[in-house]
Structure 1
Amino acid sequence: MKIKPTLIAVWLFFTLALFSCQFKNNKSKPEKPNVLFILVDDFGYRDCSVMGSNYYETPNIDRIAREGMIFTDGYATCQVCSPSRASILSGKFTARHGITDWIGAKTGEEWSQTGRATQLLPPDYVHALPLEYTTLPEALKEAGYKTFFAGKWHLGAKGSWPEDHGFDINKGGWDAGSPAGGYFSPFKNPNLKDGPDGENLSMRLANETVEFIKNNKDTAFFAYLSFYAVHGPIQSTKEKWAKYRDKAEAMGISRYGFEMGHFLPIRQTQDNPVYAGLVEAMDDAVGVVLKALEEMGLDDKTIICFTGDNGGVAAGDSYSTSNLPLRAGKGYQFEGGIREPFFIKVPGLNEGEKCSTPVTGTDFYPTILELAGIDLKQEEHTDGISLVPLLKGDTIADRPLVWHYPHYGNQGGEPSSIIREGDWKLIHYYEDGREELYNLKNDLEEANNLAPENSKRVKQMSIKLFAMLNEMGARFPAKDPAWTAEKELQHLGYVISQQLPALEKQRLNFLSKDFDPANNWWGSQAVND
């Protein structure tokens, strides 16, 4: 039997149409995930319950950790804020992007006039996130994401604000690194309108984030919630202060809370009720955003990253917290200065798992791109690698991690550079060229310097460290010709005889039932609780 040509034509038309539809369906890209990135300022490794604190209460942050992957060896790329923030957005180590200290810190001869009487003059640094970089939000915008920033920026003056680096909306990001008006409205922030008197800053930033998500729930979004908390000035409400004062008393108040470090006293106890209240208020704000994602049905479509920009403030600033068993804190070359809570929640992947592979802030950029199905930009995130294999339970290649902080800062750390390879950590000090070696697997507290009996390893790691620093164009400190040992000893004598006792007195005052801040920031209690 012959088939009519017209029937053949009809059959061919429908067959090709069917295959065409199947081809298009097979090639269609899956729905892009949303990304919520939460960055907490000065948040220490043990400043949340899930990481071991028995004093602070952080149920919402803990939930992110338990529903995602906890990177136990997660790091900031610097012991102070601006450099770490630049690394997250650029995927570059600090020595490469050149922002090696918090923007505004004094260098050179200006540093020598601060009265610290130190041996070295810190080098200058880059004072704004370079505009020529393609940042993480810019890469996501290219892929169709709506981008949003709320909170602390501290990566340059006007012309280098969030909206200049890929964020469609900026709520509160500008030059300053601390909340100019404190944690209650009026905020004194040119990019954040004041709310009702006493409105809580952390909650306001959370509400701004929720509003952005509501307005963009039908498209892929990148929301970067960068709290000013828990940076000083530390503030709370009377209710939260009373809760944590009573808790500290129930746990037993130590007679002494500080030990003298190299330059400054370092806090050894988590018992500051004002700081604890500030932590809880920030966690409350995190909870508001998590609840909104659930109510809008977006929680199973949203990747959540959570970390801090440097260690908790154990010395300098507000002397707020202790990072023990990690040594020291913000501004220091030890683990307390650089190791961070580091959580990534990807719906459907490794809920509640822990990973001990060393990872760092530069890794967020390529990780988020890969999770979003976007081609990596290795020429941009030069020093970061995707953590997706780890999130899937696989491994990544061993690699060295490097830190470069040729400054003194405000917390008492020393100008130094660090390299970590596997379990080994080498610290090079610029004052006298000495080097310390620690095995972090056996000595997380960094109490035992193993350099004397491991000279070969020290030499190998030191050579690699400086090869990497020189390749990145690192700058180094210079000797201060005006320094004398007598001036430094005189300054340290003042710290030990005057400052240390004053800190102990202030600590006990915060824990006194009669404590009165006498500046009315509890007058807004009803608005915030």
Structure 2
Amino acid sequence: MQLMSRCTLLLMITVACLADMPLSADEKTKQKKPLNFVFILVDDLGFMDVGCNNPQTFYETPNINQLAQTGMRFTNGYAANPVCSPTRYSIMTGKYPTRVDATNFFSGKRAGKFLPAPLNDKMPLSETTIAEALKEHGYSTFFAGKWHLGPTQEFWPEKQGFDINRGGWHRGGPYGGGKYFSPYGNPRLTDGPKGEHLPDRLASETAQFIDEHRDEPFFAYLAFYSVHTPLMGPGPLVTKYKEKAKRLGLSDQEEFADEEQVFPVDEQRRVRILQNHAVYAAMVESMDKAVGKVLRQLEESGVAENTVVMLTADNGGLSTSEGSPTSNLPLRGGKGWLYEGGIREVFLIRWPGETESGSVCEEPVITTDFYPTILDLAGLPLKPKQHLDGVSLKRLLQGKEPLKRDALYWHYPHYSNQGGIPGGAIRVGDWKLIERFEDGQVHLYHLKEDQSEKQDLAAKYPERVSAMRKQLHKWYQETDAKFLQAKPGGPAPWRPGS
């Protein structure tokens, strides 16, 4: 008995000592919970619409601002395309949409002087989406909101790696029923009480999923229909911003200026130059409140410290069409344009314990990068053939050296609803070249000195133009890019090399 007692006492002392010993870095890593991911995509949100990018914005976005203050804000973050469906494809696959001819919103086929390039209006089921990649490693996956990546249900979220789908189908906006208010007329979202507000409902669905899956790794993808048209907001908030505009003296200021005319329109196209649209402001604040609901749920469910949160938009703010509700100044253009106002985006990532709070990164990044970044942060193997065009941002998030990437590319061989240029673009360092597909005309800008793209330097730097154009054309070939087509009996449009 004495021997047994001594052995028991010795074992207890050993266990106690081991419990007090500091863990090695490897042991700490093993004890960490798997990272969860919350990805938030806002539709049509402009770079200058949020306070963290624009302290003078008319709109109020305290929750998005707080996310920026607790994570990293990228000042040169880009969408892969100036309209929605292609950028959504790039996030889901880590690939440029040009590779599968998904180069316009599904299914936009507007003609101008020429016919647009051929358009594929679905995300191929053969793609391995980020949801499928995570699901293979035990993640529960959830989608809420706008999908717009396929015309029929065999292409909707449930068939592309998501366990749960709340509201994702073929439509590019909330066009059924009461639109932004219940009843929704959406086959993937049950109606709530009459008058329920859509962004709040989508946030509630996301919050419920987070809480129900707090004890297992999860991937929640919240793709707001906001702030896309139709322009509708809660009455009290609309009143609030009407009074705010009046109080700030914005109601009687000049709101619009002349804009470049690209294809024939019934009246001269104009661009908004002033943020004072009360309904749009109400939509922005409603969306921001919904973001706050999701962020609070992470805290309440006890998973905030092991959840990466990402937030971006699918294209620039709507400034030249469909009510033109926002201004992107000093950025030129907006949704549907290859100028910075159409492709530079809100781009935020919070990685608790690793990313310095309130940090700012000026490295150019793009929506194809989210896929490999998520895999890398989760400690899962990268599969370059899947996320072919994306680069992991892990080292940037850790404050380490810049990415090793030659350039960013865009390809938009369409006449946008917003009047944008059919064309391509390339960014190399601080230099950006835009090439028009109707006639092959090129423009060169130095973005660090001229973010408004007012000073065309193409004539001054012909050698740089030649080199960047050659690089862009090589990328066209690598991605099997398609271009404008002649109308029956009409002249042939420009082609690279012609």
The whole-number CA distance in structure 2 between the counterparts of 1:477 and 1:139 is: 35
For residues 55-454 of structure 1, the aligned pairs below 5 Å read 55-106=58-109, 111-112=110-111, 118-156=112-150, 157-181=152-176, 182-253=179-250, 254-263=252-261, 264-348=269-353, 349-395=355-401, 396-454=403-461
3-state SS of 2:165 partner: strand
CA contact (8 A) 2:72 2:361 kept: yes
Matched residue type, 1:145: Y
Matched residue type, 2:67: I
CA contact (8 A) 1:232 1:317 kept: yes
The whole-number CA distance in structure 2 between the counterparts of 1:482 and 1:280 is: 51
3-state SS of 2:49 partner: coil
Cα shift readout 1:166-210 (whole Å, capped 9, x = no counterpart): 001000000000002321001110000010110000000000001
The whole-number CA distance in structure 1 between the counterparts of 2:28 and 2:446 is: 50
Q: Does residue 471 of the first structure (1) align with residue 474 of the second (2)?
A: no
Q: Give the CA deviation at 1:425.
A: 0.2
CA contact (8 A) 2:34 2:378 kept: yes
Q: For structure 1, which runs of at least 5 residues remain unmatched after alignment?
A: 1-17, 113-117, 485-529
3-state SS of 2:371 partner: helix
3-state SS of 2:202 partner: helix
Matched residue type, 1:402: Y
Runs ≥4 residues deviating over 3 A: 24-30, 479-484
CA contact (8 A) 1:128 1:160 kept: yes
The whole-number CA distance in structure 1 between the counterparts of 2:226 and 2:27 is: 46
Matched residue type, 1:435: V
Identity %: 48
Aligned to 1:8: none
The whole-number CA distance in structure 1 between the counterparts of 2:100 and 2:31 is: 34
CA contact (8 A) 2:210 2:301 kept: no
Q: Select which of 456, 459, 466 maps to 2:466.
A: 459
The whole-number CA distance in structure 2 between the counterparts of 1:121 and 1:400 is: 29
CA contact (8 A) 1:137 1:147 kept: yes
The whole-number CA distance in structure 2 between the counterparts of 1:215 and 1:318 is: 40
Output the TM-score relative to the length of structure 1. Answer: 0.84
The whole-number CA distance in structure 1 between the counterparts of 2:240 and 2:104 is: 36
3-state SS of 1:343 partner: strand
Matched residue type, 2:43: D
Cα shift readout 1:308-357 (whole Å, capped 9, x = no counterpart): 00000001123110000000100001000000000000002211000000
CA contact (8 A) 2:141 2:163 kept: yes
Cα shift readout 1:250-297 (whole Å, capped 9, x = no counterpart): 222244211221232111110000000011111111111111111111
Distance 1:482 1:184, change over 3 A: farther
Distance 1:25 1:424, change over 3 A: closer
CA contact (8 A) 1:80 1:310 kept: yes
CA contact (8 A) 1:233 1:318 kept: no
The whole-number CA distance in structure 1 between the counterparts of 2:74 and 2:27 is: 37
Cα shift readout 1:71-121 (whole Å, capped 9, x = no counterpart): 000000000000000000100012113210000212xxxx34xxxxx3121
- Structure in which a larger fraction of residues adopt helix: 1
3-state SS of 1:293 partner: helix
The whole-number CA distance in structure 2 between the counterparts of 1:482 and 1:332 is: 28
Q: Select which of 37, 61, 65 maps to 2:39.
A: 37
The whole-number CA distance in structure 2 between the counterparts of 1:25 and 1:436 is: 54
Superposed CA RMSD: 1.8
